Structure 1
């Protein structure tokens, strides 16, 4: 999700040693390779589709995995965010490894804030985002602008472990964000609330509906024009892209009033989508965005892959 600053610290603090002990008690066998097989990157799913740690799907109810249910303080840490929680993992980065520079451009992450709680770390672990570099200390709570280019480097020998929560937020969560501290703001008077390990039992509000069967025309319009807002408005090609987007929106709306997301008319929706994508000329597709990606990359990630879901 786009944020007004690269990094924002939330006013929460956790006992990293207790969290680390819960994770250590789970054993090594629960850790999994990163889905993209990035060297030195591994993960431990905590909330996954159907509660199955082997399920990498973004679709369906996100439920606690058996590993999370064995970690009461980790559970309480997630619940303390006051958010409706989506996919959640522990992310481990081995010593002398990195998370390579990238932008989180996928559909699932575009509307979700990514929360980081460092659990095992050291001062030389550096997190870069939008040209800024910080160290997230153990027990702190941070969010960052995933739409900007970012990377992580661990140049020490010890592994780094972060709790990583994807969420659309919630009333309590946005209150925390409003009280947050930008990474470069003075820490004078900054006093995060400590979430104790022995606090009351917690409950989690969890995602159940996350990926549409058919994207509404208003979401189509919102996403296409959101991408165009990231382009240079002085370029004529930006207006060409806007005109093409508006024509696609009108076609999609004419189908929506016939079929909506009933599951009918899927072939007609796909035909309209393919016509739009095939009509994009190379020059228009190469329209650059502020984060270093291209307009067509965003269109493919947010619309091309997601406007009509494959239904079995």
Structure 2
């Protein structure tokens, strides 16, 4: 049973990413190598590098740690933040959750870089927080030879597209191009939301 929505992935909209592309392209290798906790914990991500914006190694579900990179890049990310907040506050049901439990929040936000000719191995996300959040991808740098697979769907995600993926389904990435692929990954939680999962109904 899918998480939060019917299907494997949803296109939420489009946002401008040119300023963010310029900022990320200026990162040196030292910046990408500052933290390797995600790569060490998850074998599927061993070919990736991460810059933390909002992140905790314990994958907590509340009270996230905000890192300096978030303040540095916030104005460039704001269009995506606004789109996501709007997306999950449109229906009467969503507004009832907000009224009863408070506004949603970003529990994690990271930049992740996949090296050329590298893969993210097939995997499905688990654990308390990852099964109760909206997993959203914003491609920043990519190429036509980078393929994202979720369940039975394979596609090329283009820079500026904002996608929610069903992270409880098996998903994988292959970057067959000659350039790195960089995505901004945002995990959004709406407190009180009922999440339909193959483990049963969960509450965010």
TM-score band w.r.t. shorter chain: 0.7 to 0.9
Query: Paired residues, what number?
Result: 173
Matching residue of 1:241? none
Q: How does 1:2-151 map to 2 (within 5 A)?
A: 2=3, 3-11=5-13, 13-31=14-32, 32-33=35-36, 34-35=39-40, 36=42, 38-49=45-56, 56-59=57-60, 60-80=62-82, 81-82=84-85, 83-151=104-172
Paired with 2:113 and 2:27, the residues of 1 have a C-alpha distance of 14
Paired with 1:24 and 1:89, the residues of 2 have a C-alpha distance of 15
Q: Mean alpha-carbon deviation: is it higher for 105-114 or for 154-163?
A: 105-114
Which runs of 5 or more residues in structure 2 are unaligned?
Answer: 86-103
Paired with 1:153 and 1:61, the residues of 2 have a C-alpha distance of 33
Structure 1 residues 228, 158: CA separation in 2 closer, same or farther (over 3 Å shift)? Answer: same
Paired with 1:165 and 1:228, the residues of 2 have a C-alpha distance of 24
- Normalising by structure 2, we get a TM-score of 0.74
Q: Considering only CA atoms, is the larger Rg found in Structure 1 or Structure 2?
A: 1
Matching residue of 1:281? none
Q: How does 1:147-296 map to 2 (within 5 A)?
A: 147-169=168-190, 227=199
Displacement after TM superposition at 1:78 (Å):
4.5
Which runs of 5 or more residues in structure 1 are unaligned?
Answer: 50-55, 175-218, 230-301, 303-312
- Normalising by structure 1, we get a TM-score of 0.50
User: Would the aligned equivalents of 2:16 and 2:79 in 1 still touch at CA under 8 Å?
Assistant: no
Higher helix share: 1
Higher strand share: 2
User: Would the aligned equivalents of 1:68 and 1:74 in 2 still touch at CA under 8 Å?
Assistant: no
Displacement after TM superposition at 1:43 (Å):
0.8
After superposition, the CA RMSD in angstroms is 2.8
Q: Which has the higher contact order (CA 8 A, sep 6+)?
A: 2
Deviations 1:101-135 (A, max 9, x none): 11112221111110000000011111111111111
Paired with 1:162 and 1:58, the residues of 2 have a C-alpha distance of 19
User: Would the aligned equivalents of 1:23 and 1:71 in 2 still touch at CA under 8 Å?
Assistant: no
Paired with 1:157 and 1:78, the residues of 2 have a C-alpha distance of 27
1:74 aligns to what SS in structure 2? Answer: helix
User: Would the aligned equivalents of 2:134 and 2:187 in 1 still touch at CA under 8 Å?
Assistant: yes
Paired with 1:44 and 1:161, the residues of 2 have a C-alpha distance of 10
Deviations 1:207-255 (A, max 9, x none): xxxxxxxxxxxx9xx99x95269xxxxxxxxxxxxxxxxxxxxxxxxxx
Paired with 2:30 and 2:175, the residues of 1 have a C-alpha distance of 23
User: Would the aligned equivalents of 1:69 and 1:75 in 2 still touch at CA under 8 Å?
Assistant: no
2:157 aligns to what SS in structure 1? Answer: coil
User: Would the aligned equivalents of 1:19 and 1:73 in 2 still touch at CA under 8 Å?
Assistant: no
2:129 aligns to what SS in structure 1? Answer: helix
